[in-house]
Amino acid sequence: MPSRHTWKITGHFRFKADHWGYTRGLDVNTLFARAPAITFRLLVWSAISVAVMVADHRFRALEIPRGVMLELLRPVHTLADWPLQKWQGFSELVASREYLARQNKLLEEENRQLQIQQQQLIDLRAENHRLSDLLHATSVLRKTQRYQLARVVRVALDPHSQMVQIGLGRAAGVFPGQPVLSSGGIFGQVIHVGSSTAQILLITDSRHALPVVNQRSGQRGVAYGDGASGLLRLPYMPAHADLIQGDMLLSSGLGGRFPRGYPVARIRSVAAVAGENFAEVVAQPVVDPDRVQEVLLIWSDSTGETGSALAPLESEPADAGSVEP
């Protein structure tokens, strides 16, 4: 079977590819005969190249042709660079968006932290102001009286009971009947004591009675808590008593339980009782128990005793600041 490729060696070396339909031929003798001519041309072109480079370096001979060539090839370069530029622009856009997203997240977190710190600062300033007011309130106390700050931990205000709980108890020397002040005025007195907590009966509780004096006229009376209304009442005041709306009632200090001259309430109304020789007086306490966060516990002497808040009215006059059984 004849081969598809035919090899034929003569004075010349030839290769014939029948399946391509043409013949390639290479004359070995001619190749070696042309070698010197190729070498000469290589040397000539090399010399021309060197001469052109020297002329361009020394005399800037190709400056204009190079500029023309660059201008002609600029569209080609621009077209060739266009995909790369677009890719770089897209990469920069993605990187920029990622960077901005990270920065935005960091700024949001920083803003939250600053808001928390700002709120903490506001709370600290408010607490500092309250404590400053409480410490200023001690200026009316006698030098023999000892005091201590306590934090309100629970508020229980309902129609039948007006009490709060503080975070100090028997371990801190707290005792039943102990007077309690706030920065605004008289707050109440301790009624129950635990090892680390104590309950304070507010002056607005219906079981509480507090001796007061009118700051303007000097008229004395006893303010009783009204319970659910959060008000104080001064019952059976003489009809001719010098009391008018807006008068400030202070603690009178009678009985020695509460310090004298502390704000208690402001008279809200004075109404004569029909057919009787006395008037019904209603007063608004100066202290809002819902807003009190710290209170001041008072000790009158080195023993820490001022009398029992649970003493019955028969054994202790009501004007001593008592709690009804």
CATH for 146-323 (2.40.10.340, 3.20.20.370, 3.40.190.10, 3.30.360.10): 2.40.10.340
Residues linked to residue 186 through DSSP beta bridges, in sequence order: 181
Sign of CA dihedral 62, 65, 68, 70: negative
- Reduced to 3 states (helix: H, G, I; strand: E, B; else coil), residue 75 is helix
- Cα dist. 200→69, 155, 193, 289 in Å? 99, 10, 9, 11
- CB-count exposure of residue 292 (10 Å: 0-12, 13-18, 19+): buried
In three-state secondary structure terms, 112 is: helix
> How far apart, in Å, do the first and last CA atoms of the chain sit?
136
Number of Cα atoms under 13 Å in the Cβ half of residue 251:
29
Q: Along the 325 residues of the chain, how does pLDDT read in single tens digits?
A: 444 444 444 444 444 444 444 445 555 555 555 666 778 888 888 888 887 787 767 766 667 777 777 778 778 777 887 887 778 877 888 888 888 888 898 999 989 888 888 888 888 887 777 777 777 666 656 565 688 889 999 988 777 788 999 999 999 999 999 999 988 889 999 999 999 999 999 999 999 999 999 999 999 999 999 988 889 999 889 888 899 999 999 999 887 788 888 899 999 999 887 778 888 899 999 998 888 888 999 887 544 444 333 333 333 334 445 565 4
Please say whether the beta carbons of 188 and 225 come within 8 A. Answer: no
192 phi-psi bin (left φ>0, alpha ψ -120 to 50, beta other): beta
* Residues 6+ positions from 253 with CB-CB distance below 8 Å: 211, 259, 260, 261
* Burial of 268 per CB tally in 10 Å (0-12, 13-18, 19+): middle
The Cα 183–Cα 147 span in angstroms is 13
